[in-house]
A = this chain, B = another copy of it.
Amino acid sequence: MKSLENKSIPYKIYLTEEELPRAWYNVRADMKNKPAPLLDAETMQPITAEKLGTVFCEELVRQELDDTTAYFEIPEEIRNFYKMYRPAPLIRAYCLEEKLNTPAKIYYKFEGNNTSGSHKLNSAIAQAYYAKQQGLKGVTTETGAGQWGTALAMACSFFGLDCQVYMVKCSYEQKPFRREVMRTYGANVTPSPSETTSVGRKILEQFPGTSGSLGCAISEAVEAATSQEGYRYVLGSVLNQVLLHQTVIGLETQAALKKYNIKPDMIIGCAGGGSNLGGLIAPFAGEILRGEANYQLIAVEPKSCPSLTRGVYRYDYCDTGAICPLQKMYTLGNGFIPAASHSGGLRYHGMSGVVSQLYEDGLLEARSVEQTSVFAAAEEFARCEGILPAPESSHAIRVAMDEAIRCRETGEEKTIVFGLTGTGYFDMMSYGKFNDGVMGDYIPTDEELQAGFASIPQFPGNEI
């Protein structure tokens, strides 16, 4: 058995705590074509730091708007928090390789070894830190399934910040486990829409029985942040600042590969809002941009929410409520909502501006996969590698396995690296559907896509 041979490369490569990255990497500094500036939703002009600062923390605004500084030092307090769950292991999938009988070498960077269960904590702790530094009392945010809310609750409890989470009402009721994790970390969790904001009250008046939406929860969280003294709003994906913090994933991966002199051929990540993918690939994209190396970079998205593979590159609102700034990105339209039968995550209508620009410039390719094939890959992976992956992460597993199987057929000994962003412990109802054989696939029709595109704001240069 191959997995029983003595290994020159361990199952898990752990960097030491001293080797933890000391700075985040801002890939925009190396991009010739910079992502387009954010637009103010009121004026449709590039947004100012001052305007952004009414919603976000000062230092985070600085990070958001800076596209020339290549490295941002990671403050010592954030690095110390990172040490509680980082460096994250880069794992050699010896057992999966053997099961697939492939000559490919497969590695995955595992971000699930923390209570939030995903990479979200990497940015949550940074955002909470800067809020604390600014002397704020607390932060507000929205959460759907609760992964981001959990990460933020953990981060705020560490720094003694108040954490107000607006949780989409149907999730609040159907996912009590996530809600209780957040409460255990001291967060104040409010089902949205609620009576605590004027926008919430207005929606409740109009639609008394509504079970809420992410767009509505964002609106409530932003109102709560701007109407309370000493509060700001924080967001878990899409933004440049979030992608910047997530580069700790890619930097560690790069360092671990270098430590064992491993040269990857392809790097694969799943893509929802794009923060984990962007964080994973940024340092490698940087090498390509600087002409130092070449890699095949692959984004994987669900066929049911195919922003890169079937979307358009336009300015669009980051939120369905159209109150946040506009970003130029690959988008299906802020009005696009994936089918309810889609349970595999990655439901965001758009894509990080940085990821979109890299894709537009051909540095990154994109593939879309059907959810039943994603769950099949997840199950096969779990049964030999032990880890039960999140459905989101399993999109990357699917394509990594497909590539490894292709190597079996061609005989190529490629080195594949993929990002395993989190665990699926809170997704067991979706796994249950798959186990019971009642999970379907859903691919939006061209007409449905056109209807989504219609929600993209039309102005000169932005027409569909």
Within 8 Å of chain B (Cβ to Cβ): is A46? no
- B-contacting residues, A164-183, CB 8 Å: 176-181, 183
In the assembled complex, A439 has its CB within 8 A of some CB on chain B = no
A157 at the interface (CB under 8 A from B): yes
Chain A contact residues: helix, strand, loop or mixed: helix
Is A16 touching B11 in the complex (CB atoms < 8 A)? no
For A434, the closest partner residue in chain B by CB is: B184
Chain A stretch 1-45: residues in CB contact (< 8 A) with chain B: 1, 3-4, 10-12, 14, 16-17
Chain A 45-86 residues near chain B, CB threshold 8 A: 76-77, 80-81, 83-85
Give the residue of B3, B115, B379, B435 whose beta carbon is less than 8 angstroms from that of A80. B3
Cβ-defined contact, B383 with A429, below 8 A? no
Contact of A83 among B10, B16, B184, B425 (CB under 8 A): B10
A386's partner among B4, B12, B154 (CB-CB below 8 A) is B154
Q: A14 to B13: give the CA distance in the assembly, Å.
A: 11
Could you tell me which residues of chain A, from 75 to 108, have a CB within 8 Å of some CB in chain B? Answer: 76-77, 80-81, 83-85, 91, 95
Least CB distance from A367 to B in Å reads 24
CA distance A83 to B77 in the complex (A): 31
Residue of B whose beta carbon sits closest to that of A113 = B113
Contacts A10-B17, A17-B12, A428-B176 given; indicate if A115 touches B382 (C-beta within 8 A): yes
Does residue A387 face the partner (Cβ distance < 8 Å to B)?
yes
A55 CB → nearest B CB, Å: 27
Query: Which chain B residues lie closer than 8 Å to A184 at the CB level?
Result: 379, 382, 388, 428, 431, 435
Q: Is A130 among interface residues, defined by CB-CB distance under 8 A?
A: no
Copies of this protein in the complex: 2
A157 touches B383 (CB 8 A): yes
Is A384 in the interface zone, CB < 8 Å from B? yes
The one of B10, B158, B426, B429 that contacts A16, using a Cβ cutoff of 8 Å: B10
Contact yes or no, B180 A84, CB < 8 A: no
Within 8 Å of chain B (Cβ to Cβ): is A226? no
Contacts of A84 in B (CB 8 A): 11-12, 91, 95, 385-386
B435 touches A180 (CB 8 A): yes
Is A295 interfacial (CB 8 A cutoff)?
no
**Complex CA–CA separation, A348 to B426 (angstroms):** 28
Asked if A442 lies at the interface with its beta carbon under 8 angstroms from chain B, I say no
Chain B nearest Cβ from A282, distance in angstroms: 25
Asked if A452 lies at the interface with its beta carbon under 8 angstroms from chain B, I say: no
Chain B contacts of A428 at CB under 8 A? 176-178, 180-181, 184
Bound CA span A162–B115, Å = 31
In the complex, whether A457 has a CB less than 8 A from a CB of chain B is no
Q: Is B429 within 8 A of A426, CB to CB?
A: no
B177:A425 contact, CB within 8 angstroms = yes
Residue A296 interfacial (CB < 8 Å): no
- Top 7 nearest A-B pairs (CB, nearest first) are A177-B428, A180-B428, A11-B83, A157-B383, A180-B432, A115-B388, A183-B435
Would you list 24 pairs from A and B whose C-beta atoms are within 8 A, ordered by A residue? A1-B77, A4-B80, A10-B16, A11-B80, A12-B83, A12-B84, A84-B91, A114-B387, A115-B425, A157-B383, A158-B386, A177-B428, A178-B428, A179-B432, A180-B429, A181-B431, A183-B432, A184-B379, A184-B382, A184-B428, A184-B435, A185-B383, A425-B425, A425-B426
